[in-house]
């Protein structure tokens, strides 16, 4: 009897162990009536349960808003949104089908279809935002750089600050035998091309890629290396890098923590440049065409909601939740509410720093995609010369405005967006000179554009 009692006390922990192993949630089925009040007409959804990935950056906002404001559920989609650790991880998980779609760098689906890095058929149906990045340097670099920056009559630095001011600092580092290192978030990220553009516009060589050497540091005066966005401030603080180019809130975080000073935003490098995109695989949109359209619809509505100025405060609140960006509200608000703080205390108006809907920001323009291809060729990530036709045909497989148009047309029919929000375009924006160095970019002449740069590969027409 005693031994039986004793035995039973041993079984208890063992039973607990078993419970911990097999503790799956059981679904209760009680009757409930679904109430519908939206004017959305739900499509025949092939796959209602979806998982999307993102990196902790403010430009993931359309995903958070579409979920929190119920735009996904309106379309009959049940979406989980999960933070991922880095861009490489996101790319792999989308290609391997663990994620149905994701927030991605505009360059990622393009590189995956153009022969740099892991190859896969990825498509972009929705461009998530314009602008939203900045280049930050450490306090030490800023103190050395500051004397070379022109000042206005109040003694404040004149913006945009060009990389010419950085040149003497790089020389100083070189003379004292130290390498000048800067961080960017991924080899095919907008940031890599922006920081290269900014440096090269001042005659600083950021280093070339070749077929054999994909480090991108050949002949480099500034060594660029990859650091995931949320780790940028910590890496800068540790002194591993002397500056970085990254999306928000990680520049404002540096100001906030007093570890660095943002010197230039990508709005100043290229006015209204394309940034993040929403990516699904070709396989997914072939198998689930209606789902792809429904997802695009929800995201367009989220973009529209985000660009109502009155909604930005609420957006900041949502983004500061720990499962989304998680940074303090004050940090997020600095860039999300129409301002940008450079040096501590030097807060300037920047109404277009984050654009989610205005200027047809959500439409996937071919010309935006081709710009990334020209930069990949310029820096040698695409090792061989290509024809102008190659640029046009490659981008048509990756950027899919046809799906965007279907989604937008449905939204117009439902009365969720005005018909004027659908641009009349062949997918090419007109030629523009809105760059920090004034170079003219015409997407219909990619080779002429590549050849117009002092630093970088040149191709015969």
Give 127 or 320: the residue with its C-beta nearer to other proteins.
Answer: 320
Tell the smallest beta-carbon distance from residue 45 to other proteins (Å).
Answer: 11
Tell the smallest beta-carbon distance from residue 315 to other proteins (Å).
Answer: 17
Give 96 or 172: the residue with its C-beta nearer to other proteins.
Answer: 96
> For the chain, how far is it from start to end, CA to CA, in angstroms?
95
Tell the smallest beta-carbon distance from residue 126 to other proteins (Å).
Answer: 20
Sign of CA dihedral 450, 453, 455, 459: positive
Give 53 or 207: the residue with its C-beta nearer to other proteins.
Answer: 53
Give 81 or 182: the residue with its C-beta nearer to other proteins.
Answer: 81
Q: Say if CB 128 and CB 278 are below 8 A apart.
A: yes
Helix (H) or strand (E) holding 318, with range, is helix 312-319
Alpha-carbon Rg for the chain in angstroms = 24
Q: Which tokens hold the place of 342? A: 């450079």
Q: Say if CB 437 and CB 323 are below 8 A apart.
A: no
Tell the smallest beta-carbon distance from residue 25 to other proteins (Å).
Answer: 8
Tell the smallest beta-carbon distance from residue 246 to other proteins (Å).
Answer: 13
Tell the smallest beta-carbon distance from residue 345 to other proteins (Å).
Answer: 5
Give 82 or 172: the residue with its C-beta nearer to other proteins.
Answer: 82
Give 32 or 424: the residue with its C-beta nearer to other proteins.
Answer: 32
Give 85 or 240: the residue with its C-beta nearer to other proteins.
Answer: 85
Residues near other proteins (CB under 8 A):
2, 5-6, 9-10, 13-14, 17, 20-21, 23, 25, 27-34, 48-49, 51, 56, 67, 78-80, 82-85, 89, 93, 96-98, 230-231, 233, 253, 256-258, 320, 322-323, 325-328, 330, 343-345
Residue showing tokens 């949104």? 81
| Bridge partners (DSSP) listed for residue 435 | 270
Give 88 or 358: the residue with its C-beta nearer to other proteins.
Answer: 88
Tell the smallest beta-carbon distance from residue 245 to other proteins (Å).
Answer: 18
Q: Say if CB 449 and CB 457 are below 8 A apart.
A: no
Dump the DSSP string for 377-419: HHTTSS-S---HHHHHHHHHHHB-HHHHHHHHHHHHHHTSS-G
Q: How many CB atoms lie within 10 A of CB 137?
A: 26
Tell the smallest beta-carbon distance from residue 88 to other proteins (Å).
Answer: 12
Report the residue count for the chain: 461
Give 13 or 438: the residue with its C-beta nearer to other proteins.
Answer: 13
Residue showing tokens 């993102």? 54
CA 426 to chain centre: 25
Tell the smallest beta-carbon distance from residue 260 to other proteins (Å).
Answer: 12
Tell the smallest beta-carbon distance from residue 189 to other proteins (Å).
Answer: 17
CA 76 to chain centre: 26
**3 state DSSP class of 435:** strand
CA angle 77–398–418, rounded 5-degree value: 55
Give 90 or 220: the residue with its C-beta nearer to other proteins.
Answer: 90
Long-range contacts from 452-458, C-beta under 8 angstroms, 24+ separation: 453/200, 453/378, 454/200, 454/203, 455/200, 455/203, 455/205, 455/206, 456/200, 456/208, 456/378, 456/379, 457/208, 457/377, 457/378, 457/379, 457/380, 457/385
């Amino acid at each position: 009897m005693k031994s039986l009692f004793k035995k039973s006390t041993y079984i208890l922990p063992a039973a607990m162990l078993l419970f911990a192993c097999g503790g799956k949630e059981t679904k209760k089925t009680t009757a409930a009536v679904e109430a519908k009040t939206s004017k959305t007409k739900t499509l025949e959804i092939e796959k209602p349960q979806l998982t999307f990935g993102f990196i902790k950056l403010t430009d993931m906002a359309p995903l958070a808003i579409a979920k929190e404001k119920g735009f996904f559920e309106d379309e009959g989609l049940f979406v989980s949104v999960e933070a991922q650790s880095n861009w490489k991880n996101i790319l792999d998980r989308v290609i391997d089908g663990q994620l149905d779609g994701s927030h991605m760098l505009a360059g990622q689906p393009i590189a995956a279809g153009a022969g740099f890095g892991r190859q896969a058929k990825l498509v972009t149906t929705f461009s998530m935002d314009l602008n939203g990045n900045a280049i930050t340097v450490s306090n030490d670099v800023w103190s050395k750089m500051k004397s070379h920056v022109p000042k206005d009559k109040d003694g404040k630095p004149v913006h945009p600050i060009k990389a010419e001011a950085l040149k003497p600092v790089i020389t100083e580092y070189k003379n004292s035998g130290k390498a000048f290192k800067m961080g960017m978030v991924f080899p095919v990220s907008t940031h890599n091309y922006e920081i290269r553009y900014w440096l090269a516009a001042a005659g600083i060589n950021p280093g070339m890629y070749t077929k054999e050497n994909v480090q991108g540091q050949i002949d480099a005066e500034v060594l660029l290396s990859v650091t995931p966005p949320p780790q940028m401030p910590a890496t800068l603080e540790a002194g591993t890098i002397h500056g970085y180019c990254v999306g928000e809130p990680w520049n404002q975080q540096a100001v906030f923590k007093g570890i660095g000073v943002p010197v230039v935003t990508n709005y100043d490098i290229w006015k209204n440049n394309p940034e993040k995109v929403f990516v699904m695989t070709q396989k997914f949109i072939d198998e689930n065409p209606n789902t792809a359209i429904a997802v695009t619809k929800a995201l367009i509505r989220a973009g529209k909601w985000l660009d109502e100025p009155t909604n930005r405060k609420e957006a900041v609140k949502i983004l500061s939740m720990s499962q989304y960006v998680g940074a303090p509200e004050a940090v997020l608000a600095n860039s999300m509410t129409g301002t940008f703080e450079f040096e501590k205390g030097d807060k300037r108006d920047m109404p277009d720093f984050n654009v989610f809907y205005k200027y047809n920001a959500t439409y996937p323009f071919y010309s935006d995609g081709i710009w990334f291809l020209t930069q990949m060729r310029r820096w040698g990530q695409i090792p061989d010369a290509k024809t102008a036709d190659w640029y046009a045909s490659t981008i048509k497989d990756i950027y899919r405005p046809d799906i965007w148009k279907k989604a937008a047309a449905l939204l117009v029919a439902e009365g969720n967006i005005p018909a004027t929000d659908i641009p009349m375009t062949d997918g090419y924006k007109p030629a523009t000179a809105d760059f920090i160095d004034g170079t003219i970019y015409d997407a219909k002449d990619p080779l002429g554009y590549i050849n117009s740069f002092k630093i970088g590969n040149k191709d015969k027409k």
